[in-house]
Chain A
Amino acid sequence: MSMRTIGSEDLLAIKALSARKNILRILHAAQASHLGSSMSIVEMLVAMYSVADISKILDMSQSRDRIIVSKGHAAAGTYSVMHEFALMSEETLFTYHKLNSKLQGHVSHGVKHVEHSTGALGHGLSVGVGHAIFLKSNSFSSRVMVLCGDGEIQEGSIWEALMLAVTRNLNQLILLVDVNSISSIKGTEEIIHTGKLRDRFLGFGLRVIEVDGHDAKAIQEAILTSGEDSNPLVILCKTIKGKGVAFAENQPIWHYKSLTDELFAGAMDALK
């Protein structure tokens, strides 16, 4: 039985809100960091998992859709959304960052149904290219969806992978870029000028769609256009780092800080 939840806009919004609350809960409980990155990618992950055939991911079927979160520091966001799609129990989710838990602060393949461990940036896309080559050469129509950050694309390996993906017409490969415009300690444009990202990707031969990165339905629709031509697809998702937590929005320091009891209570209230 296929387990897709493409569903309504409302359903996607409910999942996103629920994931955001759990991100706050697990980060607060563990006094862990990376709140900003986890919050900015919630709708992206909801869209990615909603188009995937979850039953095949559960079975680790060779023809499964692959989801690779290359910005591995957004682990709290990744695991919270996986929980929304029945890929992780609540009990497991709430062990996040705690002693002896498999849920470390970066996405790990030690956790069931995670495709690949990440943490050092610029790795996930190459791995995704490997998966996409396998799917294509075996005539599987499933997708490889790789999520990376807009700071991450400063890594040269990203562009190595894109050149090969275009050369091999890997149109089942989709790169979703979290364009929250903040890198680690500063705004991305303050560090490295990328100019118009769209033009960079177009120049490399990819098909590019720009969407509101907090509109899960729009991201979903963009994903579903993959395979329309022979080129791999890049979806530039314009997001707000820390989305939904007013005091953390667009503040680089929330890459590093943890939530006090007071801030946690205020943030939870604001999400209601």
Chain B
Amino acid sequence: MRGEFLDKLFQQMEVDKTIFFLTADMGINLVEKFEVKYPDRFLNVGIAEQNLIGVAAGLAESGMRPYVYTISNFLVHRCLEQIRNDIVIHNLPVVLIGTSTGYDNGPLGPTHHMLEDWGIISNLPGIKIYAPYNKKSAENILEKTYISKSPNYVRIAKGEGIPNANGHISSNKNTKLVLTYGSGAKEGIKFATANNLNFLVIDELGIGSFKILDKSCSDYSEIIVVEDHFPNTGMYSYLTQWSNSRNLGIRVKSISPKHYTLNVGFEFSDFLRD
């Protein structure tokens, strides 16, 4: 998905001379072609993420369309103040691309687990949050960010993603649904399949998900959110807010991590035991 997103962005840079690609020394075998073909619109700021965000803000204020690429943890956790003050308060059309999500970097330890990234970002009013689930979804999201005039955060998981966003496994309509996204989708679908439940994979998160929830989730009596993100700021929380705001009374359950882990070999299925 990452590759497809960046390939499409690379093509778009040919058409739109205002697109500017920035990285904080990440993206080996992915970003080199940007520097070769567009040396004036590529910048590796080094391992200096606070500066990365500020520079992107300055470029955006000058009329450029910065796409900012690095690993989600360095992008979001380290730079919250820069993202908040320099990008979101100014409502600048900067696209933050955070790679490696959830437990993508499982064995590397909790500093490299992204379990609260988009929840943190979603507290900032005015930024849209996307999580592609396959190639087509990644390309659609790139298109949305490209036409956007506001800040965007794209949470891109490693790997190819899943083939279909909708699964009608159960013949029992209007009962239970599994809602999932991003790097948690594979496990979510596995859980739905094992339990003979319908599933829905979404690629816009936070408040922005309400439109698709209105369309696809209102008739269920119980929705189980499977996510590789802490539930209190994740889709579990947003689904609860959505259900409450629509007075739907849907029962919402969570399968998700609840704490950090110091052990190698922590598996997604461990969430089921929490």
Interface, chain A (partner B; CB < 8 A): 62, 109, 115-120, 122-123, 125-135, 137, 156-157, 160-161, 163-164, 167
Q: List 11 A-B contacts (CB under 8 A).
A: A62-B63, A116-B57, A116-B86, A116-B90, A117-B85, A126-B50, A129-B54, A134-B63, A157-B82, A160-B51, A164-B46
Among A123, A131, A134, A164, the residue within 8 A (CB) of B82 is A123
Complex: how many Å from CA A9 to CA B175? Answer: 80
Which residue of chain B has its CB nearest to the CB of A131? B58
Interface status of B185 (Cβ within 8 A of chain A)? no
B39-68 vs A, Cβ < 8 Å mask (1 yes, 0 no) = 011010110101101111111111110000
Q: Evaluate contact between B62 and A123: CB separation under 8 angstroms.
A: no
Q: Chain B's nearest CB lies how many Å from the CB of A129?
A: 5
Count residues of chain B with CB under 8 A from any CB of chain A: 26
Known: A116-B90, A157-B51, A160-B50. A126 touches B58 (CB 8 A): yes
Complex: how many Å from CA A97 to CA B4? Answer: 49
Complex: how many Å from CA A62 to CA B53? Answer: 21
Q: Chain A's nearest CB lies how many Å from the CB of B39?
A: 10
Count of inter-chain pairs, beta carbons less than 8 A: 92
Q: Chain B's nearest CB lies how many Å from the CB of A121?
A: 10
Q: Evaluate contact between B59 and A125: CB separation under 8 angstroms.
A: no
Complex: how many Å from CA A163 to CA B86? Answer: 20
Q: Chain A's nearest CB lies how many Å from the CB of B9?
A: 19
Complex: how many Å from CA A133 to CA B81? Answer: 22
Interface status of B30 (Cβ within 8 A of chain A)? no
Point out the residues of chain A lying under 8 angstroms from B48, CB to CB: 157, 160-161, 163-164
Point out the residues of chain B lying under 8 angstroms from A130, CB to CB: 54-62
Q: Evaluate contact between B90 and A117: CB separation under 8 angstroms.
A: yes
Q: Evaluate contact between B57 and A127: CB separation under 8 angstroms.
A: yes
Interface status of B272 (Cβ within 8 A of chain A)? no
Pairs of residues from A and B, 9 with the lowest C-beta to C-beta distance, nearest first: A130-B58, A126-B54, A160-B48, A134-B62, A160-B51, A130-B55, A157-B50, A127-B58, A131-B58
Point out the residues of chain A lying under 8 angstroms from B61, CB to CB: 115-116, 127, 130-131
Interface status of B89 (Cβ within 8 A of chain A)? yes
Q: Chain B's nearest CB lies how many Å from the CB of A162?
A: 9
